[in-house]
Amino acid sequence: MLPILFALTIIVLLFIVVIAGQPDEFKLTRSTSIAAPPEKVFPHVNDFHKWEAWSPWAKLDPACKNAFEGAAAGTGAIFNWSGNKKVGEGRMTIFESLASNVIRINLEFFKPFKATNTAEFIFRPEGNQTVVTWSMVGKNNFMGRIFSLIVNCDAMVGRDFEKGLASLKALVETAA
């Protein structure tokens, strides 16, 4: 019995060491080029009322309950959502909005898990196009580190970012 307990202890210790070795923070980033100037792209991100037209999560739960607070757009705008298990529940608050340049959002998840991250959109003119970069950064707590061992979050959430950017591109280029 003692050798089995010793082996289990070693396995648990190795597992804890592997988890502790995972990064404290994560960052995922995706970009696309849109054939329009930044001032044509920026309003679609700066106004949460316009997100339904391009957000990858809006299509996952058409019955999602959405509520808007604060400013109509830009700094101080707040978007609350409560939906099915695919979209969960949370709140986004724009805390920095520099016209046609950058938008920074405090992103709070309440369900299916609690987390607070920062989302960022950077709009960089490049010739007659705009390169839009969508990033999210956050802390990896102990459970997040375990989850990252099982699930490739960059690939999973990155696919959603790619879908959202493709929808934003189609929306803006069609309007132009």
φ/ψ (deg, to 5) at 101: -130, -60
The Cα 111–Cα 151 span in angstroms is 18
Supply the pTM of this predicted model. Answer: 0.83
Q: How confident is the model at residue 20 (pLDDT cuts 50, 70, 90)?
A: low
Q: Which residue has the tokens 């999973």?
A: 156
CATH number at residue 113: 3.30.530.20
pLDDT at 155: 65
- Establish if 53 belongs to a structural domain: yes
Do the domain assignments include residue 43? Answer: yes
Which residues, at least 6 apart from 73, have a Cβ–Cβ distance to it below 8 Å? 43, 46, 47, 48, 49, 94, 97
SS3 84: coil
114 part of a folded domain: yes
Higher pLDDT, 18 or 120: 120
DSSP string, 10-54: HHHHHHHHHHHTS-SEEEEEEEEEESS-HHHHHHHHH-GGGGGGT
8 pLDDT band (50/70/90 cuts)? confident
Q: What is the pLDDT of residues 37-63, one digit of tens each?
A: 999 999 999 999 999 999 998 888 889
Q: Is residue 165 assigned to a domain?
A: yes
Q: Has residue 6 got a pLDDT over 80? A: no
pLDDT at 72: 96
In a domain, 6, yes or no: no
Distance CA(167)–CA(172), nearest Å, equals 9
- At a CB cut-off of 8 Å and minimum separation 6, what does 53 contact? 44, 167, 171
Instruction: Give the whole-number percent of the chain exceeding pLDDT 70.
Output: 87
Flag whether pLDDT at 100 surpasses 90. Answer: yes
pLDDT digit string, tens, across residues 61-83: 889 999 999 999 999 999 999 99
pLDDT reading at 16 higher than 90? no
Residue 149 resides in a domain: yes
Q: How many domains does the chain have?
A: 1
Q: Give residue 140's pLDDT.
A: 74
On whether residue 4 sits in a domain, the answer given is: no
The predicted pLDDT at position 58 comes to 87
Residues 6+ apart with CB under 8 A from 92: 48, 78, 79, 105, 106, 107, 108, 119
In terms of residue numbers, what domain contains 125? 26-175
For residue 151, pLDDT over 70 is answered with no
